[in-house]
Chain A
Amino acid sequence: MQSNEILLEVMDLNKTFPVKKEKLYAVNHVSFSLQKGECLGIVGESGCGKSTLARMIAGITPTSDGKVLLEGKDYIGLKGGEKRRFRRNIQMVFQDPLSSFSPRMKVGTYLMEARRNFDGISKAEGLKEVGRLLQEVGLPEEFVSRYPHELSGGQLQRVAIARAISIQPKLLICDEATGALDVSIQNQIAQLLVKLVEEKNIGCLFIGHDLALVRSVSQRIAVMYLGRIVELLESETLGEKAMHPYTKMLLGSIFDVYCDQNEEIAAPKGEPPSPLKIRKGCAFAERCSWCSEKCKENVPPLQEVEPGHKVACFQFTE
């Protein structure tokens, strides 16, 4: 149900942290756009800046530089009550289910929080709605009076999703929402997300490190490496058309059920360099088998190689 209206536009977004006298780029000149009803997956190793990116878009972490527009409105600089009211447009589901619940707040209260804060509905109305919400994410209604520690991780994550969609946000950000769950449950949660996002025509940013899972959920995938997007392409063509050496490396390291234990996995060689020690040139240069002199000198820009497919690698953009 993708329309061609642009929902979210991220332009040249940066996040730097001062470290001694230098700047650490956690997110480095990231630009992309998201259409209404589209799900964009963001993958990358731990520490590549995907969570920071998500938190900036959600307005939790302040940005250093750049613009983020939701339906053409630059909301990053909003203050006070205006900022609070704008928050209903963007909701987020966090990685660790248990820590995103107050241990002393019952599930029912948690679920109606957003509606009560934004729409001022009464407790009785809230309770009615909570029952409906729980049903929608496939949980029994008795959960209303349970405490978070009485639920499993997967159930909690369903509750968190239910609350996020309760106020009909325009954008839903899932920051490794399935990362802390069992593999069997991961898939259920991912399916639930896809279903809800489609039904309600919500834009979705799905962040994860599991390429296979992210791919199954999203229409497009952005691959991040050390704060930059290195490749942006459609999920369906990921297997055949992936170009960037880093994306290929990630693809090569996916396990599947029939994999041969004796076969060497094409896991990424080497460690990602510390973001503090990034030299000039392509950040991936040290781990790249294709690396040329030019890569060590200049940063490859993210360029379109064919419609809907962008790569940041000199190999293809010359």
Chain B
Amino acid sequence: MKSKKKIWIRFGISAAFAVIFLLFALFAGKFAPYDPLETHYTDLLKAPCKQYLLGTDQMGRDIFSRILYGGKTSLLIAFAVTAIISVVGILVGTAAGFWGGAFDAVLMRLSDMLMAFPGSIFTIALVSFLGTGLPNLILAMTLTGWTYYARISRSLVLSIKNNTYIEQARLGGANNFRIMTGYIIPNVMPSLLVNITQDIGSKLLTIAGLSLLGLGSQPPTPEWGYMLSEGKDYMYSAPWMLMAPGMVILINVIIFNLLGDCIQDLMNPKGKK
């Protein structure tokens, strides 16, 4: 058993990093030294220096500012997508597990159908069908992502639905609503919260990946994945164009995975894994 204090410290560090990145993303305008779209024709492909902390790109735009503004797009979309799919998925999955029967069968067959396709390929297909752009990207990721949460929450609900304490709750006069909110949700939420936190990281990767392929954000909007895609043409002459967005994606994914891990350890009331 890990000591509780150590876990709290780990949690504090990763949470602090997550908050810092979020604040940078939310208040990009306050921190960015330049306008992310402003071009400096005299400073094309400049290596990191005092004037441009992370260098400039092929059009002379400040990469540091673009990373900050890009975070706004990447992180906020990752958050939005995760929030939407987890809420939809948990509602559907909990309801299916709780009531069972035809409702359950229909929903689960639907999710089987969606799961039969590899997730990212299906997302790519949907985006190309709906048209590129961020709103469509969110829509496509939502359509393919909710099944995962529906599956997990359904199986969690099934595993606790027949517990004695649910019977006991019924004897104690709890109605369905109370059983859902007072007994089932508190007992399934901790495991789900871990999934949700870690999923933010993987959604970040998906968004970056799709943007890299040109299916996400459209130029000139700064976005980490798209910046990578621009940078790959200058890999040898200006490696900083790849390094900066690559590193922030990497760091963010690690942070959200660590955070999920710590939450898992902390959420267990018995204090052991």
Chain A residues near B (Cβ < 8 Å): 58, 60, 81, 84-85, 87-88, 90-92, 94, 96, 99-105, 113-114, 117-118, 147, 149, 160, 163, 167
Known: A105-B183, A149-B269. A88 touches B173 (CB 8 A): yes
Instruction: Give chain B nearest CB distance to A47 CB in angstroms.
Output: 18
A104 and B165 within 8 A (CB): no
The 7 closest A-B pairs by CB, nearest first: A117-B173, A114-B172, A100-B164, A118-B173, A104-B186, A99-B164, A102-B165
**B174 cross-chain contacts in A, Cβ below 8 A:** 113, 117
A103 and B171 within 8 A (CB): no
**A94 cross-chain contacts in B, Cβ below 8 A:** 164, 167-168
Question: Of B164, B167, B187, which one neighbours A104 at CB under 8 angstroms?
Answer: B187
**A87 cross-chain contacts in B, Cβ below 8 A:** 170-173
A92 and B173 within 8 A (CB): no
B170 and A60 within 8 A (CB): yes
**B170 cross-chain contacts in A, Cβ below 8 A:** 60, 84, 87
B269 and A113 within 8 A (CB): no
Instruction: Give chain B nearest CB distance to A92 CB in angstroms.
Output: 6
Known: A114-B173, A147-B269. A60 touches B167 (CB 8 A): yes
Known: A101-B165, A147-B269, A149-B270. A117 touches B178 (CB 8 A): yes
Question: Of B171, B173, B190, B269, which one neighbours A58 at CB under 8 angstroms?
Answer: B171
A176 to B194, CA, bound (A): 38
Question: Of B173, B187, B190, which one neighbours A102 at CB under 8 angstroms?
Answer: B187
Question: Of B165, B171, B190, which one neighbours A92 at CB under 8 angstroms?
Answer: B171
**B165 cross-chain contacts in A, Cβ below 8 A:** 99-102
A96 to B165, CA, bound (A): 10
B51 within 8 A of A: no
B163 within 8 A of A: yes
**B135 cross-chain contacts in A, Cβ below 8 A:** none
CB pairs A–B below 8 angstroms (14 shown):
A60-B171, A87-B172, A90-B171, A92-B168, A94-B164, A94-B167, A100-B164, A100-B165, A100-B168, A101-B165, A102-B183, A104-B190, A113-B173, A113-B182
A33 to B243, CA, bound (A): 82
A163 to B171, CA, bound (A): 11
Instruction: Give chain A nearest CB distance to B163 CB in angstroms.
Output: 6
With A100-B167, A149-B270 given, name 8 new contacts (CB 8 A). Answer: A81-B175, A96-B164, A100-B165, A103-B269, A104-B187, A113-B172, A117-B172, A118-B173
**B182 cross-chain contacts in A, Cβ below 8 A:** 102, 105, 113
A163 to B215, CA, bound (A): 59
Instruction: Give chain A nearest CB distance to B104 CB in angstroms.
Output: 21
Q: Nearest CB to that of A147 among chain B residues?
A: B269
**A100 cross-chain contacts in B, Cβ below 8 A:** 164-165, 167-168
B143 within 8 A of A: no
Q: Which of A58, A87, A103 has the most CB of B within 10 A?
A: A103
Q: Nearest CB to that of B185 among chain A residues?
A: A104
A81 to B178, CA, bound (A): 13
A105 and B172 within 8 A (CB): no
Encode contact with A along B162-200: 1 for CB under 8 Å, 0 otherwise.
Answer: 011101111111110010001100110010000000000
Q: Nearest CB to that of B190 among chain A residues?
A: A104
A113 and B187 within 8 A (CB): no
A117 to B190, CA, bound (A): 25
**A163 cross-chain contacts in B, Cβ below 8 A:** 172
A101 to B269, CA, bound (A): 14
**B186 cross-chain contacts in A, Cβ below 8 A:** 102, 104-105
Q: Which of B170, B171, B187 has the most CB of A within 10 A?
A: B171
A174 to B187, CA, bound (A): 26
